[in-house]
Amino acid sequence: MEESLKNNLTKLIESIEIERLKYSSHQIIKLIAVSKYASLEQIIALYNVGHRAFGENKVQDLKTKSTQVNNLPIEWHMIGTLQENKINHLLEIKPFLFQALDSIKLATALQKRLENNNQFLNCLLQLNSSKEDSKSGFDIEIAVESYKEIVESCPNIKLKGVMSIGANTADTKLIDSCFKKVRDIFDNLQSCGAEIMSCGMSNDYKIAIANGANMLRIGSNIFNG
């Protein structure tokens, strides 16, 4: 298993490197291995071949897996939608980064719990760049003002940048237009401390890199080959 995962990871990193150099030799890209369909054995095997950052979509799965490998210094990312009734569970886990802050309502609820617990949480603002009803996130038109509002009103939330999911389509031009919108917002927010543009999954990471993404969330290309 380790050999197979190592080959998959090496192949992916080589592909990312080719696209990174097309964009800029100065760009640094972080890869999050999305482990929502991966077994615990696969996670440990990938750790053993050198990977450290993993992402889960559900709080319960994140809690279960992080607890089972709590002896390993894994950097856990919560990348899926968070329901308000699961906030306490997330804060118990203390993930490295919560990537799906998708509403002012959730930010307000998070701030309240964080303040009560004397905790801080690194977050990304999720953007609905494709305007698809099936996706959550802030509308592009209000993203900048919403980001600034959270920075001002929620001091225990440490916003580090933005996250978005590309359009669910085979139309690469449409996906590209979504990521361009995210890039424009990211550029606008760098003066507010935004450092991370998390875009790009197994099917569209090359387009994301071409638009300046510096964090990728990839699962199937690693765990399925």
| Inter-CA distances, 195 with 23, 58, 159, 205, Å | 17, 25, 9, 18
Sequence ranges of the domains in the chain:
2-223
Per-residue pLDDT of the chain (225 residues; tens, 9 = 90+): 999 999 999 999 999 999 999 999 999 999 999 999 999 999 999 999 999 999 999 999 999 999 999 999 999 999 999 999 999 999 999 999 999 999 999 999 999 999 999 999 999 999 999 999 889 999 999 999 999 999 999 999 999 999 999 999 999 999 999 999 999 999 999 999 999 999 999 999 999 999 999 999 999 999 997
Q: Which superfamily does CATH assign the domain made up of 2-223 to?
A: Alanine racemase (3.20.20.10)
Tell me if 195 sits within 8 A of 221, measured CB to CB: no
- pLDDT computed for residue 136 by the predictor: 93
Q: Which two tokens stand for residue 164?
A: 């978005």
Give the residue carrying structure tokens 């698809």. 132
| Inter-CA distances, 211 with 93, 108, 135, Å | 32, 31, 21
Instruction: Round to whole Å and give the CA distance between 27 and 41.
Output: 32
Q: Tell me the sheet residues that pair with 197.
A: 162
Q: Which two tokens stand for residue 145?
A: 């003002």
Instruction: Round to whole Å and give the CA distance between 160 and 151.
Output: 10
- pLDDT computed for residue 225 by the predictor: 73
Q: Which two tokens stand for residue 169?
A: 């389509």
Tell me if 43 sits within 8 A of 23, measured CB to CB: no
Q: Which two tokens stand for residue 114?
A: 């964080």
- pLDDT computed for residue 134 by the predictor: 87
Listed in order, strand segments (DSSP E) in the chain are 30-34, 53-56, 75-78, 97-101, 121-127, 157-164, 196-198, 215-218
- pLDDT computed for residue 189 by the predictor: 98
Instruction: Round to whole Å and give the CA distance between 190 and 186.
Output: 6
